[in-house]
Chains A and B, each alone.
Chain A
Amino acid sequence: MSQHQLTVVISQAQGRNPSKRRLEEDIAAALIGEPGISVTLVPHLYDMAPNHSGMQLLREVPGPLLVMGWLYERAIRWTLDRAGVRGHEGVTLLKAAEDVEDDEDSDEDTEEQRAAGGIGSLEVPDRSVWCLDLRVSESAGEFVNEIRRVRDELHTDEGSTTDLMSWIQGTPSAAQLQRYLQPERLLEARRAFDSGTATLDDKALLPEDTGRRWYPVIDYSRCTNCMECIDFCLFGVYGVDALDRILVEQQDSCKKGCPACSRVCPANAIIFPHHKTAAIAGAEGEVSGLKIDLTKLFGGDEGESAIEMAVRERDRELLLDGREAVGMSVGIRQKHRDEMDQLLADLDALQF
């Protein structure tokens, strides 16, 4: 019966913001029982540790997968990638109004986006993964329509014959993952929990608690494996894999709030999904990914360059750790920028 199942996973907001909860719930409720779709909810994607049952579930999903959460699409995609949840990049059409124009020309080379010069992802299975930012609309209907569109696309060119439910039953961690197969019960338990009336059964059903985490996420469609981040970070966050590819090895060694490595990355490939600057949080790039900082022109202090800012942020974390500040003396490479021409072209587009 269930040909071409699309698994939809809603990564929940941090905290219990009622309007976010409502949007999640409205989307889930609309999709429960929808033909060709299995829907479930997991805790906030970025906050789940690799061994969290929600992450295990994501890894077990056999076929086409759509993940929605309160993050930029790039942040969702590459957080999943680091957790081993991969697939070809599915194109979503629901965007924040101001992104629409940009995306029209980028649709061409979405697949792995190696055209951008990054080293790309590894071991990408033959299925698609769609990511949706829940912040682009307040209308559950818009999300549901987009998800239906994706499902209908599957009927023509892609599909798995097993659905999430039958797949999970056969896996070794089935007991752990059982809870995700009952989205109605999950929603009920969540409502009970929020109103303080959760029973022991409700509590047993809810996934393990997650604390707020902070760590870099590498966008391998941009990353050139230049190793500036591993040279710069003095907290042991980065490592390399067996193929000498850069890797965020020790996520939890990262210093909360510090985005310094992302500032030194020449390819703008390092995402901190919860940083206040959109370009660092994983927004699609403007002006080659960086926004112009006009602070100096509008009366601020002599503007700091990105490197100066990164050095200051790193020194602060070193001092907090009881270590010595190192300033510019460690891990700053002489900048050699191939993309100089591109940047100037972008600037000319501003018609100065």
Chain B
Amino acid sequence: MTEPLSFMMGQYQALFPVDRQYSRRHLWLQSAGADRWRVGFTAYSVRLLQDVYFLEWSIDEGTRVRDRQEIGEIESAKAVSSMFPPGAGTVIRFNPALLNDPSGINADPYGTGWLYEFAPDEDLLSAAEYLEYLRSAWEDAQRTIKGQMNEG
């Protein structure tokens, strides 16, 4: 089975290839050798961010990180966010191609726009499991965003 799975974000169809695994932090992971996974933003993240123009890592390569540990910052035309790893593990190296120009994240989110290589300590989700999570979290996500709009 090679067809990507799809999830409708309003009018927008986000696609999720099944040749890789996923995390609840809206990241994909694809094996890139022994104990080494490439990590990138899913179509869901990229759709929320839109055009990325600033990316900064706050940790060094080779750092062991906790789940929910902040590892960097990202800013786009519409949004800002701190960045978090897929879970606990080790950040092995960052994608050098993005360091000066993060626009690769938009151009090819599932390919050359990968963020970093990572050795996870924890189990990952399949595309189908991730999609199930998206369905359950989507209402919440919309509320979160609209809630901010109210509070400024």
**Measuring CB to CB, which residues of chain A are less than 8 angstroms from any residue of chain B?**
98, 263, 266, 268, 277-278, 286-287, 290-301, 303, 305-307, 335, 337, 340, 343-344, 346-347, 350-352
What would be 6 A-B contacts, judged by CB atoms less than 8 Å apart?
Answer: A98-B51, A291-B75, A292-B78, A295-B81, A335-B151, A343-B150
Q: Report B97-152 residues with CB < 8 Å from chain A CB.
A: 141-142, 144-152
Instruction: Determine which residue in A305, A340, A352 has the highest number of CB atoms from chain B within 10 A of its CB, and name it.
Output: A352
Q: A294-B49, A305-B148 are known contacts. Are A352 and B77 too (CB-CB below 8 A)?
A: no
A306-B152, A343-B149, A352-B9 are contacts. A297–B48 as well, Cβ < 8 Å?
Answer: yes
CA A294 – CA B42 in complex, angstroms?
Answer: 14
Q: How far is the CA of A306 from the CA of B148 in the complex (A)?
A: 8
Q: Is B60 an interface residue (CB 8 A)?
A: no
- Min C-beta distance of A211 to chain B, whole Å: 27
Q: B70 contacts which chain A residues (CB < 8 A)?
A: 300
Residue B79 interfacial (CB < 8 Å):
yes
- Do the beta carbons of B25 and A299 come within 8 Å of each other? yes
Decide: A290 near B152, CB < 8 A? Known: A299-B68, A344-B146, A351-B12. Answer: yes
Question: Which residue in chain A gives the minimum CB-CB distance to B26?
Answer: A298
Select one of A297, A307, A351 contacting B141, CB under 8 A.
Answer: A297
Cβ < 8 Å to A, chain B residues 36-59: 45, 48-49, 51, 53
B-chain residues with CB within 8 Å of residue A286 when the two chains form the complex: 77-78
Known A278-B75, A291-B78, A297-B26: A337·B150 in contact at CB below 8 Å: yes
Residues of A with C-beta under 8 A to B141: 297
Known: A299-B25, A337-B152. 4 other contacts (CB 8 A): A292-B79, A292-B149, A294-B45, A300-B70
Q: Nearest CB to that of B9 among chain A residues?
A: A352
Taken together as a complex, chains A and B put the C-alpha atoms of A266 and B150 apart, in Å, by 10
Neighbouring A residues of B68 by C-beta, 8 Å: 299-301
- Kindly provide the distance from the CB of B11 to the nearest chain A CB, expressed in whole angstroms: 5
CB-CB < 8 A to A296: which residues of B? 144
